[in-house]
Amino acid sequence: MTEPDSLASQAPHPTPWPERILRMLAGVVLVAASALVFANLEWFRSVEAMAATPVVGLFVPAGAATDFARQTVYLFGDGASPVLGFVVSGGCSVGVLVALLLLASSPMALISRFNPAGVLWAVLAAVCVSFLANVVRTSVIAVVGGRYGREGAFFFVHNVGGAVFIVVMATLSVVVLFKLLLSGGRRVPVPPRETVPT
Amino acid sequence: MARTMRAEASAGPVRLGASDRRRWGIQVVALVVVAAVAGLLVTGVDRVFVRPALVSVPEMRGQDPVVARATLERLGLQVAETITSPAGFRSGEVASQRPPVGAGLRPGGVVELGVAAQPVRIEVRKNSYVGRRTSEAETTLRALGFVVSTERVVSEIASGTVIDVSPDGPVMQGEPVRIVVSKGVG
């Protein structure tokens, strides 16, 4: 088989219209989700604080609670002021990262050869990796800051440890996205490699 | 080249198995992560507390207790009634309230209304009050249901000491009682 023949055999078949619609829908869903997160970053932070609360509650004597409207986790019984709480601020959120991830993934559903359902699943998993990583980071900062003081310990876990961790985990979420796309989301199976005798 | 092809052919099924395992592995990891996030969100919803809107307590003094109760209950507050001295109020009117006007209460909070009692005549003995501290005398007389007014005059007696109380004798609750207090020589 010559090289042009090989390429011709791998050329994608015309996409049937139901699949085109599905692709369009998947792309629109991703763009819409991205816009929603961008427009509601404060709400997203509230959800992050809410998700971190059960984890924080495991490590403080009298549990934790969330004030959803203020993106605050209150720690009870650890000696920290329960009035102040732990606020998930704009810098502590992965909202922008998630919105960008959603936006960047939308073309994959629209123009790539990936299965649209697979793209959605991969994006969901990648978003969840980022989200979960930030929940872990938030919880660690809240617990360590609450228990060991809001000066030295808080600074270290927030500005040093937390920052490095979130960069690593954000990268991991992109890796997970592509891993999932490449492992199960392809529409057209790649033919086996052939060695051309010379 | 032929050796390469043989090697690929013989390693083919083994590689496919490993690749499948990797593929399933990443899918399982993704599933676990998504499930963990869903679990945290569901658990977190139980730990959200809603900051309730506070109800501002209105002025109830001088009102009929039935009307006051209806007003407060319409605002979602509960009412507890007590009998209090009628100082400055007609018998049966709301004479005091706790918390005071403008205080914020959560819905369901209790407002204590003091309803002015039927006034009775009480003997006010001037000698019981002269020489006592002003605040002490005022508190006692107010507790008995009198409307207390205080007048400060120059006197050689220590500042803040009650010099005179009038009227001296039986006084109807709700009526004024005047206290004269020393403000010292200066």
CB B173 within 8 A of CB B141: no
User: What are residue B79's phi and psi, to 5 degrees?
Assistant: -125, 135
Residue A49 lies in a domain: yes
Residue A194 lies in a domain: no
Tell me which residue of B61, B98, B92, B63 sits closest to B79, measured CA to CA: B98
Q: List pLDDT tens digits, range B118-140.
A: 778 889 999 999 999 999 999 89
Q: Are residues B142 and B162 in the same domain?
A: yes
| Predicted local distance difference test score (pLDDT) of residue B16 | 55
| Predicted local distance difference test score (pLDDT) of residue B5 | 45
Summarize the confidence of residues A148-176 as an average pLDDT.
79
Summarize the confidence of residues A5-32 as an average pLDDT.
74
Rg (CA), chain B: 39
Residue A79 predicted with pLDDT over 80 = no
| Predicted local distance difference test score (pLDDT) of residue A1 | 42
Q: Are residues B64 and B106 in the same domain?
A: yes
CA distance B86 to A115: 82
CB contact under 8 A, B44 and A121: no
B48 neighbourhood in chain A, CB within 8 Å: 50, 53, 65-68
Which of B26, B31, B43 is closest, CB to CB, to A54?
B43
Domain count, chain A: 1
Tell me which residue of B137, B150, B85, B75 sits closest to B110, measured CA to CA: B75
Ramachandran region of residue B96, left (φ > 0), alpha (ψ -120 to 50) or beta? Answer: beta
The band of A192, judged by pLDDT with boundaries at 50, 70 and 90, is low
β-pair partners for B147:
B176
Q: List pLDDT tens digits, range B12-39.
A: 455 557 777 777 888 888 899 999 999 9
Summarize the confidence of residues B4-11 as an average pLDDT.
46
Residue A138 predicted with pLDDT over 80 = yes
Instruction: Kindly report the average pLDDT of chain B as a whole number.
Output: 82
Strands annotated E in chain B: 55-56, 78-84, 94-98, 104-105, 110-116, 121-124, 147-153, 162-166, 169-172, 176-182
Q: What percent of chain A has pLDDT over 70?
A: 77
Q: What is the number of alpha carbons within 13 Å of residue B171 lying toward its C-beta?
A: 23
| Predicted local distance difference test score (pLDDT) of residue B177 | 92
| Predicted local distance difference test score (pLDDT) of residue B108 | 83
CA distance B6 to B89: 109
Domain that holds residue B102: 55-116
Domain that holds residue A166: 16-184
Q: Which CATH number do you get for residue B97?
A: 3.30.10.20
The highest-confidence range among A52-56, A80-84, A87-91, by mean pLDDT, is A52-56
CB B125 within 8 A of CB B168: yes
Residue A114 lies in a domain: yes
| Predicted local distance difference test score (pLDDT) of residue A5 | 47
Residue A150 lies in a domain: yes
Mutation target among A131, A137, A172, A175 for the B interface, most CBs of B within 10 A: A131
Chain A residue whose CA is closest to B50: A67
User: What are residue B118's phi and psi, to 5 degrees?
Assistant: -65, 125
Instruction: Kindly report the average pLDDT of chain A as a whole number.
Output: 78
| Predicted local distance difference test score (pLDDT) of residue A117 | 85
Q: List pLDDT tens digits, range B76-112.
A: 889 988 877 766 777 788 988 888 888 878 778 889 9
CB contact under 8 A, A63 and B47: yes
Summarize the confidence of residues B150-174 as an average pLDDT.
89
CA distance B148 to B167: 11
Mutation target among B19, B22, B27, B37 for the A interface, most CBs of A within 10 A: B37
CB B30 within 8 A of CB A180: yes
B27 neighbourhood in chain A, CB within 8 Å: 180, 183-184
Residue A155 predicted with pLDDT over 90 = no
| Predicted local distance difference test score (pLDDT) of residue A86 | 77
Residue A196 lies in a domain: no
| Predicted local distance difference test score (pLDDT) of residue B9 | 46
| Predicted local distance difference test score (pLDDT) of residue A81 | 61
CA distance B106 to B51: 9
CB contact under 8 A, B1 and A198: yes
ipTM: 0.75
Residue A9 lies in a domain: no
Residue A78 lies in a domain: yes
Residue A123 lies in a domain: yes
A38: CB partners within 8 A, 6+ apart: A95, A96, A99
| Predicted local distance difference test score (pLDDT) of residue A84 | 67
Which of A55, A64, A128 is closest, CB to CB, to B34?
A128
Q: Are residues B103 and B142 in the same domain?
A: no
Which of A57, A128, A195 is closest, CB to CB, to B1?
A195
Tell me which residue of B99, B178, B111 sits closest to B138, measured CA to CA: B178
CA distance B186 to B178: 23
The residue out of B89, B116, B143 marking a domain boundary is B116
